[in-house]
Structure 1
């Protein structure tokens, strides 16, 4: 068993809004949130006052303790206000990907039993359709303004009393993000107030300290647990300033670093790639940066070194975790970035234990240098999957160890290296893509008899979803483009199939389980894969380019009268 070298931190038994904003009054007029595009600024005093008034407005509208509220929005300065207002009113927040289709959104609404939605006006058509499909939604609020919908802005003038809710931080759920765990379709991850608040203390105690004067750029989405914790809750808890961007656009991102004197970046590998290689980086003054930490997906050590060298920074740090862990368990501490070995995802954070167990004999623990499945135990381990006790039991054993499905080893210095996955999930740009979901969708195509989806690596080393398709005998076989378009029209952009191979049969075990490793090995033998959607553009990952274009196109369509 491996234990953290840091002293344990006591569990934080506070509602998440109190754990984060409990010292907001002390920070007063210091800027808490800045819109990185138009400069709109909220001070700590305003954030504290506004979220209390919106909580009163939500309670007046009928939101009660135990309700679930779906927060459906890109990053804005209003997102934290909505989140903390909902939890103060007693609701659990289920964050929704702003690019989710109405059908995907509806599934999350139905599974979580959400009765309320907070969205933004450009996303209203999707939210309305999702509410119609799911049923049970009592009202849709907007952060900005839209005819026929109550606005959070209007709630700032509410004279209703601030709700007084007797939350139990130990058992009451604060956030309900959706994750596929190690396999299968998305499941609601129940994260209690204590689990989330304690993970903040674990991450910021001697590991990734921050405070007044620090400026963090929030370009990764708040709806993802990484953004929610590292870019919203953690810096706001300590009095730092969060500069908010709604999406990643390289020039806007670089301009925000320069103009707002950003000191810390929490990013995913595609952004590291852009910082390391894109020629436009040289056009901006990024000298305010003090550190960069990458997480959500594996980061190639050579790419990390190239980025650090170009920016004139200490070696980039990495972090490790998963939604079911609130999410953090490992990080390279800021004061140890120069000593950390290349490629490590960090050391255990306080109050966290880890085992590396044999893949062949799961009851046998392994020592330093031996690779096996990573197991985690600590106060940040989720309460469980909503309504899925069997899935919870498969993930967390009777002794409280969460089986991550990741394969790794620890060196003699306690540094963890993640080397592979036993789980079937594909991590595309930090987002989880469940092969089972795409396979079920592919099988609805009349020209497809069987299908399997696996993660393969493109030219940059990033993992992309690739489909193996068996044409339906006697039917007109679809083309590669038609298969990709069929999927693209029915799922969020990050779930799109990026390549298709037609095969005579899908390899399966006697049990019927798809032999995904055989398919991955088959693809790897052919060398690096290119995303077939278009040419490279200024050395940027073309998948990022396509996703940004998809998002912009969707926003443009919604913004049209």
Structure 2
């Protein structure tokens, strides 16, 4: 049965999975082995904590933390209480995270204490006041938290006074058409935009994903994709709940740690960017680990060489390797390969449109292009967002007059309906699986006193696929160390994947007659 009809909401899915899969392991972490019955109970307790914090249905709840079992419980608790989840990428700086919390008027925030040596609490407090944020909860086992914050244990304890029947009533009150989350992306304006999607959309899309991928009860699913991104959260946690898989959150991708976990936990499912598989293949100790349990790999976000597809199968032992294409504005789902596709199809395309979703390719005049010719990829179907959060102008700009989502990606359709992405109309590039948006980076660069103007492009990188190169017009003659100093400044001001790896000072930027920077010409240049 279709997921959106069977469960209706994510809140119902969690409780139904607790009954259906019972004692089967649901979430496994370093100090946690939680079965489905226990997960359902913990989520109800978290929902009670959300209610005790005064969060009403439709209120926004932020979460800024890496992949952990507590993340799963906190996020599911928030949506089970009728809140709208606002995930914040762990690579964001404090100012970037605070801006998204202000824009969404989040009243509750779950935050990690320290991750990769960074104090998230300190970074957030340094970013200035958050007038709508009433409660901040520090995830993890720590009991000592700064004044004005709640520990995870204290947060759960505060919910103990909420009657079970009230929690159940709140769960039952969530409707399929209610917004489930706001996933932030960026566009040509450089300002992050929040794509709003509903419970029903999400469940239907990732029930379909689970069917096409062949995710099954008993699978052991290592989730290296961040929960703060559409794929990690929805194809990871939610699809796992739908099929009774065991979810193994991986907070940081470290090749040897992942190899060890595959061997010790019997991992069967491991999606990731192409760089994930390449790193495992290249690890000198790979042959020392038993990898025979692996069976399902799903990748995308970059061109996948045919040789890599063969090596994922032959050297890592995956029996199924799939590629897919999606974007945040379409629940992360547009096209997907099928399990019987050839390696060449998997490597050269992103597969065909998923059921009940349409894809077309159009030229600049809005006309369909012939098969095999490039144009803008446009999408229509149930996966498409209802709009950007409180941004009707950007929403209107993203849709055609006849209701198709303009993806901003350039692609080619073949006779079999397979889509091949060839370029990015919006100049986005992908750094190790993370989407980087030049306009956003250029907006931050403009704050530096040396930068009069700038343009950022993606350039090939053997390890990360692509990295940023910034062409900068300086306000005055730069010193010999100015380029490296500007890169260092960027590392302090923006998420690491956004940081240009190279700065090239130029006297002017190439522009067309209307003044638009010609990014194609910049990609051909080398400083």
Please report the TM-score for the alignment, with normalisation by the length of structure 1: 0.86
Alpha-carbon displacement from aligned partner over 1:413-468 (angstroms, at most 9, x marks no partner): 22221111111222212222221222122222222222111111123571111100
Is 2:18 the partner of 1:24? Answer: yes
Structure 1 range deviating more: 26-35 or 328-337: 328-337
Contact 1:180–1:425 under 8 Å retained in 2: no
Partners of 1:328 and 1:130 lie apart in 2 by 37
Alpha-carbon displacement from aligned partner over 1:148-184 (angstroms, at most 9, x marks no partner): 43334345451412433333322x2111111014652
- Aligned-pair CA distance for 1:344: 1.6
- Aligned-pair CA distance for 1:12: 6.6
CA RMSD of aligned residues (A): 2.3
| Residues matched between the structures, number | 512
After TM superposition, the structure 1 = structure 2 runs for residues 159-308 of structure 1, keeping only pairs within 5 Å, are: 159-161=161-163, 162-163=166-167, 164-165=169-170, 166-170=173-177, 172-181=178-187, 184-205=190-211, 207-308=212-313
Partners of 2:479 and 2:502 lie apart in 1 by 20
Q: Which residue of 2 aligns with 1:81?
A: 73
Alpha carbons of structure 1 residues 46 and 9: separation in structure 2 relative to 1, 3 Å: closer
Q: Which residue of 1 aligns with 2:460?
A: 457
Contact 1:53–1:155 under 8 Å retained in 2: no
Alpha carbons of structure 1 residues 342 and 61: separation in structure 2 relative to 1, 3 Å: closer
Partners of 2:189 and 2:305 lie apart in 1 by 25
What are structure 2's unaligned runs of at least 5 residues? none
Partners of 1:323 and 1:353 lie apart in 2 by 16
Is 2:335 the partner of 1:351? Answer: no
Alpha-carbon displacement from aligned partner over 1:347-380 (angstroms, at most 9, x marks no partner): 211111111112x432x11343222211111101
Partners of 1:50 and 1:273 lie apart in 2 by 37
Partners of 2:465 and 2:24 lie apart in 1 by 39
Is 2:417 the partner of 1:410? Answer: no
Q: Secondary structure at the match of 1:53?
A: helix
Partners of 2:100 and 2:6 lie apart in 1 by 29
Contact 1:12–1:197 under 8 Å retained in 2: no
Partners of 1:440 and 1:229 lie apart in 2 by 30
Alpha-carbon displacement from aligned partner over 1:377-424 (angstroms, at most 9, x marks no partner): 110101111111111111122332111111112222222211111112
Q: Secondary structure at the match of 2:525?
A: helix
Q: Secondary structure at the match of 1:200?
A: helix
Q: Secondary structure at the match of 1:176?
A: strand
Q: Which residue of 2 aligns with 1:519?
A: 522
Is 2:137 the partner of 1:141? Answer: yes
- Aligned-pair CA distance for 1:245: 1.4
Q: Secondary structure at the match of 2:371?
A: coil
Partners of 1:192 and 1:265 lie apart in 2 by 26
Partners of 1:8 and 1:499 lie apart in 2 by 48
* Matching residue within 380, 383, 386 for 1:380: 383
Contact 1:106–1:131 under 8 Å retained in 2: yes
Partners of 1:297 and 1:186 lie apart in 2 by 22
Partners of 1:202 and 1:522 lie apart in 2 by 43
Structure 1 range deviating more: 485-494 or 409-418: 409-418
Q: Secondary structure at the match of 2:12?
A: helix
- Aligned-pair CA distance for 1:315: 6.3
Partners of 1:50 and 1:11 lie apart in 2 by 25
Alpha carbons of structure 1 residues 80 and 10: separation in structure 2 relative to 1, 3 Å: closer
Q: Secondary structure at the match of 2:97?
A: helix
Is 2:430 the partner of 1:427? Answer: yes
Structure 1 range deviating more: 425-434 or 101-110: 425-434
Contact 2:94–2:120 under 8 Å retained in 1: no
Q: Which residue of 2 aligns with 1:46?
A: 38
Partners of 2:402 and 2:176 lie apart in 1 by 22
Q: Secondary structure at the match of 1:293?
A: strand
Alpha-carbon displacement from aligned partner over 1:303-351 (angstroms, at most 9, x marks no partner): 3333333224346321110111111121222343558353221121111
Contact 1:215–1:263 under 8 Å retained in 2: yes
Contact 1:53–1:156 under 8 Å retained in 2: yes
Q: Secondary structure at the match of 1:99?
A: coil
Alpha carbons of structure 1 residues 385 and 253: separation in structure 2 relative to 1, 3 Å: same
- Aligned-pair CA distance for 1:285: 1.2
Is 2:98 the partner of 1:71? Answer: no
Partners of 1:243 and 1:13 lie apart in 2 by 23
- Aligned-pair CA distance for 1:70: 0.5
* Matching residue within 364, 368, 373 for 1:365: 368
